[in-house]
Amino acid sequence: MTLLGRLLGEVSLKLAFLAVNAPAAFGAYRRRSDISYGPDPRHQLDIYLPDQPAVRPTPLVVFWHGGRWSIGDKVEYRFVAAALAELGYATVLPNYRLYPQVKMPGLMEDAARAASWASAHAAEFGADAGRIYLMGHSAGAHIAALLALDGRYFGALRRPPPPIAGVIGLSGPYDFLPFREDDLRDIFGPPALYADSQPINFVSDDSPPMLIVHGDQDTMVAPHNSRNLAAVLRGRGVPVTLKMYPRLMHGDTIAALSLPARRRASTLADIAAFVNSPKGQAAFDAATEGMA
């Protein structure tokens, strides 16, 4: 791609974020921004809470943004947190260090640190530390899934891991070997460590329930990533719901959380059904691929 093409792409992306975030700026929620959870300038998070304090502790969602592990910022995803707060959930949006500042395992170290902070402070903002959901889109979905499935990252903190009630992955890469791009080889290398980057390799009988959402026309992250992970989870008896949205592409699954695109897909309703059902899953048929 030419320099002009890249610049035009960046401008288009910024305009898209402006369009989806403008209505969210007036949402019915409370926001606390730029709270430090670690020593690096990127170790900051925002907390979004329902406008009205809940009678009982609310579910807690920790959401990681996408951006190929190398771009993105929490402020661009205000519309996501606003939608989740609308459902009555406390929502934490962390920033994390990006490539090339860090590679693996630094990306995951930041994720574990942010989720652990959210768990430790949940009671301070009316959330239930026993109902934590890890969520992300694209690279963020990869981070959420790998953090939930590979216990080494929480283990490295030398503190009890938070109880993960479920994982919500939107358009995520979970089974994406072989690497064909140089930046991915660098982020997840050396080659001896490539397998450690694949969430699908860490599924166990004790894995948490998952809601896996993907557009079946996604050309950026192939839909087989979600289908393959769902199949392995089912094979291990882990409750999982796979929602393949017909005719939708990579960004559509998350865009549907914004007010302008809310009718594009049933993302918000599927998240609500997953979180609100007993144990985050009972409302779903764990053996059936859902179609929106």
Q: What is the pLDDT of residue 286?
A: 45
Distance CA 250, CA 112 (A): 26
- Contacts by 218-225, CB closer than 8 A, 24 or more apart: 218/171, 218/248, 218/249, 218/250, 219/249, 219/250, 220/138, 220/171, 220/249, 220/250, 221/138, 221/171, 221/172, 221/173, 221/176, 221/250, 222/176, 224/175, 225/172, 225/173, 225/174, 225/175, 225/176
Residue 196 is part of which domain span? 3-291
Q: How many residues are present in the chain?
A: 292
Q: What is the pLDDT of residue 279?
A: 59
Across the chain, mean pLDDT equals: 90
Which one is predicted more confidently, 283 or 49? 49
Q: List, for residues 217-250, the tens digit of each pLDDT value.
A: 999 999 999 999 999 999 999 999 999 999 999 9
- Residue 5: which pLDDT band, with cuts at 50, 70 and 90? very low
- Residue 6: which pLDDT band, with cuts at 50, 70 and 90? very low
Q: List, for residues 122-150, the tens digit of each pLDDT value.
A: 999 999 999 999 999 999 999 999 999 99
Side-chain-facing half-sphere of 129: CA atoms under 13 Å: 13
- Residue 62: which pLDDT band, with cuts at 50, 70 and 90? very high
CATH number for the domain that contains residue 227: 3.40.50.1820
The C-alpha angle with vertex 214 and arms to 211 and 219, in degrees rounded to 5, equals 155
When divided into structural domains, the chain yields a total of 1
Q: List, for residues 183-217, the tens digit of each pLDDT value.
A: 999 999 999 999 999 999 999 999 999 999 999 99
Q: List, for residues 146-165, the tens digit of each pLDDT value.
A: 999 999 999 999 888 999 99
